[in-house]
Amino acid sequence: MPTSLHLKSAELTLDDAGSGTPILMLHGFPATRLLWRDVVPMLVGQGLRAIVPDLVGYGASVPHDGVRVDMASQARWMWELVDALGIERPVIVAHDVGSAAAQLMVVASPHRVRGLVVLDGVYAGEWAMDAVQSIRGWASAEAHRLFPVLARRLGKSELMREMLAAYAGESGGRRLIRAACDLDPGQTSQIGESLRASRVPALVLWGRDDRYLSVDAVARPLAKLLGAPLELLPGGHFTPVDCPGEVSRAVRDFVSTLG
């Protein structure tokens, strides 16, 4: 069953399953915590604890009035979550722009992060903003028309359609438009040296067929910056949906190296 937490400026919804090394799993845009649905049981079965929140302003997590839901704010909320659960040194596993929040968490408190896994994520100022530009410019009065468009473009599997359904209707469409408008690549454009200096153990996983964030332009320089191995997976951008078995194996193997 989902758990609700009251944070300083948001109401957070999360799933918390298993025991052992804590894995904080962050989705990106336009996802929800359902992104990890097929990965979590495998990690839990391997003796790990999966903590899977909806980022604030996404899915069932709600910000207070007037609060931005940018990735710098997400990073602060995620540290609030970690503190509220009494977790010490989680491994952070993050997809897409959720990896911006993860990188900002590392920069803020590297000593508190056991390890970092980035899946099809962002690098410096490269957030594939061209892919969300149409949503940023979507008229609020037409918000109810957004979900059908997303479902046609991205809903190639039952899980993707179920995940995107969080943004159905007028209120769901307005939330997604707001989330898109609050995305700010400038928040990670200048943190490279701080990430490099953090020396947090890292792994980079990428779909071979990712059409939003390319292997050569994003994955390879990110892996080099983090001093991390790069592993290509048989999928597109949404690797936790496309190849959950490969993702869970890679995360498990990485965690086993951390001690």
Domain ranges of the chain: 3-127+186-254
Distance CA(251)–CA(100), nearest Å, equals 19
In this prediction, residue 155 carries a pLDDT of 84
Q: Which residues of 103-119 are buried (b: 16+ CB within 10 A; e: fewer)?
A: bbbbbbeeebbbbbbbb
Distance CA(204)–CA(220), nearest Å, equals 9
Distance CA(227)–CA(12), nearest Å, equals 33
Contact assessment for residue 202 and residue 228, using Cβ atoms and an 8 Å cutoff: yes
3-127+186-254: CATH homologous superfamily? Answer: Alpha/Beta hydrolase fold, catalytic domain (3.40.50.1820)
Question: What pTM, to 2 d.p., does this model score?
Answer: 0.97
In this prediction, residue 168 carries a pLDDT of 97
pLDDT < 70 positions in the chain: none
Distance CA(67)–CA(50), nearest Å, equals 27
Contact assessment for residue 242 and residue 105, using Cβ atoms and an 8 Å cutoff: no
- The model's pLDDT over 214-251, given as tens digits with 9 standing for 90+, comes to 999 999 999 999 999 999 999 999 999 999 999 999 99
The CA distances from residue 183 to 122, 200, 246, in Å, are 12, 25, 29
In this prediction, residue 136 carries a pLDDT of 97
